[in-house]
Structure 1
């Protein structure tokens, strides 16, 4: 798939079929997250693959937003390994992990899978449920799977603001 097709075709999938994600396909998606750029190459993101029945049941107890996906990626970052911006107020962890998440979403689309970025859960409960170490911060979960035949993007998906509304030049 051409890159423009990938970014235009990617949408938040809310219904998956029952096919499992093959290990080579999953590894290709995970590798896209691994090679994502991070501030000063800190590579502080960590990805937990959740696909066991118990793990998926735990996700279901945390959120209604799994939508039957056979794989969920829990993406965190190591709080003490981030680049701290000048002024000391902000670190790069959330954005670096978000770049990795975005790479994985686009790689999933390119591989014929669908995904949904999930942040509708209590991170403290997720931390406890998945034994996330104290030094890591949870950014999001990412559903992965093959879209069901009758699923489609939301009506809002194609409605985009114009460049004039989003971009300014100085």
Structure 2
């Protein structure tokens, strides 16, 4: 499958079967995250695999968006390891963790595993529930598993602006505001 086909095929899966993800497929997904580019190659990503009943129950207390997935990845970054921009000390950890998460999501899709990016969680509850030290910042939860038979993309999945609404050459003249549903 070429990249654009893969990117178009990927959608947020919110309904999963009970089938467990095979270790080989999970290893492939985690490897895709491991090789992701990060600022200065500092690799500050820290990923917690939540696959035990106990961990998945804890997760349910932290977010309504667990979707009863048989596994979830908690993607964090280590502030003591992330690169900081010299001009303003901007921490690139959230960007690095986001790139890592995106590569894992795309690899999951190619492997036939459904998932979704979840940012709707209580970060403090995540910290205490999973014993995160202060220097780890949770960025994303990725519930994943085999999609349920009746799983389907959200009705707005294919709503996209045209390129001339999101891409500009040399200046932002004529930029407009709004979400895809406000075309």
Instruction: Give the alignment's TM-score, normalised by structure 2.
Output: 0.91
What stretches of structure 2 of length at least 5 have no aligned partner? 171-183
CA deviations over 1:7-65 (Å, ceiling 9, x no partner)? 00111111001100000100000000000000000000000000000000011111111
The residue that corresponds to 1:158 in the other structure is 158
Aligned CA-pair RMSD:
0.8
Q: Secondary structure of 1:37's partner?
A: coil
Higher mean displacement: 9-18 or 81-90: 81-90
The residue that corresponds to 1:3 in the other structure is 3
Distance 1:93 1:137 in 2: 9
Q: Secondary structure of 1:80's partner?
A: coil
- The aligned runs of 1:18-33 (5 Å cut-off) are 18-33=18-33
Distance 2:2 2:159 in 1: 22
Distance 2:14 2:23 in 1: 22
Asked if 1:67 is matched to 2:67, the reply is: yes
Query: How far off its partner does 1:102 sit?
Result: 0.1
The residue that corresponds to 1:57 in the other structure is 57
What stretches of structure 1 of length at least 5 have no aligned partner? none
**Structure 1 runs of 4+ with >6 Å offset:** none
Aligned length: 170
Distance 1:17 1:160 in 2: 29
Q: Secondary structure of 1:118's partner?
A: coil
Query: How far off its partner does 1:86 sit?
Result: 2.7
Query: How far off its partner does 1:89 sit?
Result: 3.5
Distance 2:107 2:69 in 1: 16
Distance 1:80 1:24 in 2: 31
The residue that corresponds to 2:76 in the other structure is 76
Distance 1:104 1:96 in 2: 12
